[in-house]
Structure 1
Amino acid sequence: MAAAQRLQRCAVSPTGKHSASIIFLHGSGDTGQGLRAWVRDVAVPDLAFPHIRVIYPTAPARPYTPMRGAPSTVWFDRYKISRDCPEHLESINAMCSTLGAVIEEEVKAGVPKDRMIIGGFSMGGAMALHLACRDHPDVAGVFALSSFLNKDSVALQAAEERARAGGSLPELFQCHGTNDDLVLHQWGEDTAALLKRAGLVATFHSFPGLYHQLSRPEMEKLRSWILTKLPPLSK
């Protein structure tokens, strides 16, 4: 098997001892640097911590079917943007391996997976859900902002199978703006409900007036939730 591709990334280092990590995945067509700049502009205070390293990888450019095959920095391909169509599993599975290497680098740096959170915006949130539900259910949590899973997603199936077997699953934090496309907001809310039914502890926050974007109130809630899952270690 070929080695997983190493992704470009930027990171915000902790100001103190590194004891936890966040992997934050951008939406389709963006980059890690672009998401990092957006977070810095929106979040007050910045999404930076004394003990947590925040990593922003960049998806490699690939032909993207909804753009008629034009190249775009996307985590996976879609046959179309629809909750009801099959997932493009070949590209999703390949990216699970590639991002899994980022997680393992943090493990080798001394951060156990129960001191990691995986999350993302839009497509990045869906990618994070695949990683957390399928391959890395032992992470501390997963967040999905303005995101949804397809109705018969293999991530949902994996969560259900793990719950039936008595395995643990990460806690889910999910947000969506009410002024996003109404269909997308409903898909996001349905995803949270399905994941909760599958066995995750899941919370869904609607933000009135928010479009398909990040906001300061959303980032404040996210920051507070992160600190409940990844508190500083006692000295």
Structure 2
Amino acid sequence: MSLTSVVFNPIKTHTATVVFSHGLGDSGDGIAPAFLSLSKMLGHVKFIFPNAPSRPITVNGGMIMPAWYDISSLGENIEEINEDEEGMLNSVRGINGIIRDEIDSGIPSNRIVIGGFSQGSAMALLVGLTSEYRFAGIAVLSGYLPLRNKIFKMAAESNKGTPIFMAHGVIDAVVPYNFGKLSSELLNSKGYRITFKTYNTLSHSINPDELRDFAQFLKDVLPDE
């Protein structure tokens, strides 16, 4: 699966890349403006915002919309999520194609951060944990760990020590805060390097405080060289 993307090209010599995936029903064009200030701040970094393919979404009555995978139900219990593994793995292949293109262009994998918002952040974790490439970091905004009952059997050792930035709003009514917190605790228990940030007034969105913390994470793992 070949994906189209919205791209913020670096304003200085290109030495690092962020691949950041949007949430359900959104697009690269929709989410990219939220990161324009980060792109200007990190002039050596190329930002890529892939566009998910459109597909029917069961929980929305079969409405066709951009999505990385189908969602059949929503609930408060993370253990009861019925996940679209086939859709997720198809999307992994598409995102991996973008990563390979960056590596082929001369950017080493340890200068690439994989991130996302909501559905996109679940994809970031699935791509990051299963990849044979070692990344500079993984960023999870308002998301959760997908395929939690089998992902550690699928995981490669490459990113066991990779910094993972997780951020979640306490009043998120779409992906409950508890999903993010439990996911971070499970990853931490498996030995992954987790930073979990909580935002008391943040709903299912991105706010300036979160962007500031994400920017600092990117500065730490993708320093200008």
8 Å CA contact 1:47, 1:223 repeated in 2: no
The 5 A counterparts of 1:82-231 are 82=75, 83=78, 84-136=80-132, 138-150=134-146, 152-159=148-155, 162=156, 168-181=160-173, 184-231=176-223
Q: CA offsets per residue over residues 123-165 of structure 1, 9 Å max, x none? A: 1100100000112551111011010125734334434xx46xx
8 Å CA contact 2:20, 2:115 repeated in 1: yes
Amino acid at match of 1:228: D
8 Å CA contact 1:66, 1:81 repeated in 2: yes
Indicate the residue corresponding to 1:52 in structure 2.
Answer: 45
Q: CA offsets per residue over residues 53-102 of structure 1, 9 Å max, x none? A: 00011101011111122111001112323422342111111111111100
Indicate the residue corresponding to 1:77 in structure 2.
Answer: 70
Aligned-partner Cα distance in 2 for 1:218–1:202: 16
Amino acid at match of 1:180: D
With the length of structure 2 as denominator, give the TM-score of the two structures.
0.91
Indicate the residue corresponding to 2:5 in structure 1.
Answer: 9
- The alignment status of 1:22 with 2:14, answered yes or no, reads no
Alignment partner of 2:27 out of 17, 25, 31: 31
C-alpha distance 137-108 of structure 1, shift in aligned 2 (>3 A) = closer
CA shift for structure 1 position 183: 7.1
Aligned-partner Cα distance in 2 for 1:200–1:209: 27
Aligned-partner Cα distance in 1 for 2:52–2:127: 15
- Relative to structure 2, which stretch is displaced further, 78-87 or 200-209? 78-87
In structure 2, stretches of 5+ residues that fail to align are: none
Q: CA offsets per residue over residues 35-62 of structure 1, 9 Å max, x none? A: 012334xxxx443322110001110101
Amino acid at match of 2:20: F
Aligned-partner Cα distance in 1 for 2:182–2:58: 25
C-alpha distance 168-188 of structure 1, shift in aligned 2 (>3 A) = closer
SS at match of 2:148: coil
With the length of structure 1 as denominator, give the TM-score of the two structures.
0.87
Q: CA offsets per residue over residues 189-231 of structure 1, 9 Å max, x none? A: 0101111112210011001111111011100110111111011
Q: What CA RMSD, in Å, does the superposition of the two structures yield over aligned residues?
A: 2.0
Indicate the residue corresponding to 1:66 in structure 2.
Answer: 59
- Relative to structure 2, which stretch is displaced further, 74-83 or 88-97? 74-83
C-alpha distance 183-146 of structure 1, shift in aligned 2 (>3 A) = closer
8 Å CA contact 1:133, 1:169 repeated in 2: no
